[in-house]
């Protein structure tokens, strides 16, 4: 832990005295909160903004949004030699996925080297919504849709989706495309929910995480998060 003004000065943004002036003027933020006292201490995981510009404390933090394709492991490396999500991100930093998507599940996945933000996004108490689009076997009936909205018991626990909507029923191929909103992070939770009402998942895609979506990206493509997006993610804590 180091004093905030020292970290700002070490970054090359300005002198320590100038950093102290900026702090007293309320022009410095740490993790989205304005700091006006000189005794504040920070560590390498803190997001520091000076006059709305990011200060990189020690190890530079990187934040990526990936449109994960099929047949990709949500891990840093794989003992079987399969492609991992880290292989798709153009960086030399040691980054890792925030949470995971199954091998054949596609969609939005964040990768970073920011441990504090990872904790914010994965901690059960945060209840951050994720929207999934699932193609399932069979035609989901109105009665089954109502059952989903009221909640189903998964692993001896009542699970209630935050959002449920049928997009399409294909009577020729006998399958349904449905949207589900989930705040839980349990493994295979969407697959378990749909199996519980007799409709196993054929294809699964994560469409959104909090306010983030896949707009402008194709499968396998990645982009950096903006500073504004990072700050907004930090505000979820």
Residues with catalytic roles = 102
SS (H, E, C) the chain: CEEHHHHHHHCCCCCHHHHHHHHHCCCEEECCEECCCCCCEECCCCCEEECCEEECCCCCCCEEEEEECCCCECCCCCCCCCCEHHHHCCCCCCCEECCCCCCCCEEEEEEECCHHHHHHHHCHHHCCCEEEEEEEECCCCHHHHHHHHHCEEECCEEECCCEEEEEEEECCCCEEEEEEEECCCCCCHHHHHHHHCCCCEEEEEEEEECCEECCCCCCCCEEECCHHHHHHHHCCC
């Amino acid at each position: 832990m180091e004093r905030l003004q020292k970290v700002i000065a070490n970054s090359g943004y300005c002198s320590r005295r100038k950093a102290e002036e900026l702090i007293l003027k309320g022009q410095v933020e740490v993790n989205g909160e304005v700091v006006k006292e000189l005794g504040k201490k920070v560590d390498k995981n803190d997001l520091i903004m000076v006059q709305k510009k990011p200060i990189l404390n020690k190890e530079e933090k990187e934040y990526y949004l990936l449109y994960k394709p099929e047949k990709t492991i949500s891990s840093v490396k794989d003992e079987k030699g399969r492609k991992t999500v880290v292989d798709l991100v153009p960086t030399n930093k040691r980054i890792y996925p925030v949470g995971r998507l199954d091998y054949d599940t596609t969609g939005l996945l964040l990768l970073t080297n920011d441990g504090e933000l990872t904790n914010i996004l994965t901690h059960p108490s945060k209840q951050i919504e994720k929207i999934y689009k699932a193609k399932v076997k069979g035609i989901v009936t109105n009665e089954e849709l109502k059952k989903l909205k009221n909640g189903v018991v998964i692993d001896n626990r009542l699970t209630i989706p935050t959002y449920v909507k049928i997009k399409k029923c294909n009577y020729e191929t006998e399958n349904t495309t449905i949207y589900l909103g989930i705040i839980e992070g349990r493994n295979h939770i969407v697959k378990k929910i749909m199996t519980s009402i007799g409709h196993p998942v054929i294809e699964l895609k994560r469409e959104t995480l909090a306010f983030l979506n896949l707009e402008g990206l194709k499968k396998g493509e990645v982009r950096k998060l903006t500073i504004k997006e990072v700050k907004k993610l930090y505000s979820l804590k």
